[in-house]
Amino acid sequence: MSIINKKYFQYSDREIPNITGRTEERVFNEVQYFIDKKEKELFKKAFGIKMYKDFVQYVDDSGLKANAPQNYKDIVNGKEYQINKPNTSDTYTRYWEGLKDEELWDSLIADYVHVEYWRFNVQKTVLNGENKNSAKVGNNVSMSMKLSEAWNRFVFKYQGGYNRNNYYGNCNSYRIIKNRLGNGCGVDFYYPYNYYQDAEVSLLVFLNENKESYPLLEEPKCFNLETKNEFGI
């Protein structure tokens, strides 16, 4: 049971070879395993256990069921909504693009799955240790650029602009990242933007700005992520 499917991995920026071939059932099964596993991980982080258990009952092999509540449909399909700036009459329009786009086959879930799939498959475990796959056609080159781009898209779409420790108190919001020591969260000043504006928002910002629609929502959790470049730093 999952929101996305193998079609999200057929195009160049997120391609997994042989996923649609007649004899590649193993590749498809591996990808589906990562979809199921990583969706579950992501939703538990974003929703908390209570909301996750309530949400997942409306998901089957075809995605979100037709009888799902509207608030869950908004998470999956996207929503345009308004926010008001405190102590003013200013109103701003916000855009949440949703968890999937079946016209462009785009999804923050797919970016996350893509990175995790290749992280485990660029090398294979064999009886005498770890082996790197050799190319039958062409030469092996680094996947770092594609994977870092997918990773950074995921970080931005999942938690961009969400600061759990300071709810936009200074009218600016920043991405939460893991510090270099790995012992806590820090603030990423690489992508600051003014909170009070018309803008597309990340999943965590959408949930935080629409808390009244999600009574089971627990405090959303960042993945303690940091953006990466093609050199992995």
The 10s digit of each residue's pLDDT in 164-198 is 544 443 333 444 444 444 444 444 444 444 566 88
In the structure, what pLDDT confidence band is assigned to residue 163 with cuts at 50, 70 and 90? low
Greatest Cα pair distance in the chain: 68
Tokens (6 digits) for 143: 């996947």
pLDDT for position 230 = 44
User: What are the distances in angstroms from CA 13 to CA 10, 135, 189, 226?
Assistant: 9, 20, 27, 20
Residue 93 burial by Cβ neighbours in a 10 Å radius (0-12, 13-18, 19+): exposed
Looking at 85-145, which runs of residues are DSSP E strands?
91-96, 123-126, 129-132
pLDDT band (50, 70, 90) for residue 77: very high
Residues 27 and 58: beta-carbon distance below 8 Å: no
Quote the CA–CA distance of 60 and 118 in Å, as a whole number.
Answer: 26
Higher pLDDT, 127 or 103: 103
Helix axes 144-159, 108-121, angle to 10 degrees: 140
State the pLDDT at residue 7: 86
Residue scoring higher pLDDT (189 or 151): 151
Identify the weakest region by mean pLDDT among 13-22, 25-34, 104-113: 13-22
Average pLDDT over residues 109-135: 68
Distance CA 87, CA 226 (A): 34
Cα–Cα dist 20/132, whole Å: 23
Tell me the sheet residues that pair with 106: 101
Q: In the structure, what pLDDT confidence band is assigned to residue 79 with cuts at 50, 70 and 90?
A: very high
123 has pLDDT over 80: no
- Domain borders along the chain are 6-88+96-213
**pLDDT band, residue 137 (cuts 50/70/90):** very low
CA distance 23 to 41: 30
Structure tokens at 186: 């820090």
Q: What is the pLDDT of residue 224?
A: 56
pLDDT of residue 166: 41
The reported pLDDT for the residue numbered 170 is: 34
